[in-house]
A and B are shown apart, each in its own frame.
Chain A
């Protein structure tokens, strides 16, 4: 099991563009959460997907949206990119059947907005 995988590894976009990041959860996990980690900060929760629905959402604008597919993989979409969106985006998966408490993180996607 490769664990949580994310693609792409790095991405460079310009202001105003749109971006889609992808995440495949650890085998057996059904819940996916997305985090934004700015330089020198801890991860900040964006939202969580379970059963293809957004279950919880952090304090992020509607420009940030997501999707979960029947195979539990997930996408994070960001529209109208701002310079401040430059960050490491982390995906984490968990198993709701095991209490969902422990989150397993992916390696992240580094997004740079110019």
Chain B
């Protein structure tokens, strides 16, 4: 079956512009996660969705970052007024439930470059 998909695969943007990153989870997966992978910080948790609600947004680095999930499926991560330090690979993962121990399936990521 189809795995987690993310779009775009690559995004180059100018400093100060807004960007939207999209994640399509595996059908039927209620839990969705966003992570960021950067050279200096490794892999970091950003936000967790259970259905359409986000019980944990603690990993979002600033108020320039926001995310939403509609219909319990597709999620969009928005970065406003991008900065060079936002350059990273943004990964999305989904899981059948949000419970601990559940396997998370990762998408291929969106590589964001802020110039």
A binds B: no
Chain B residues with CB under 8 Å of chain A are none
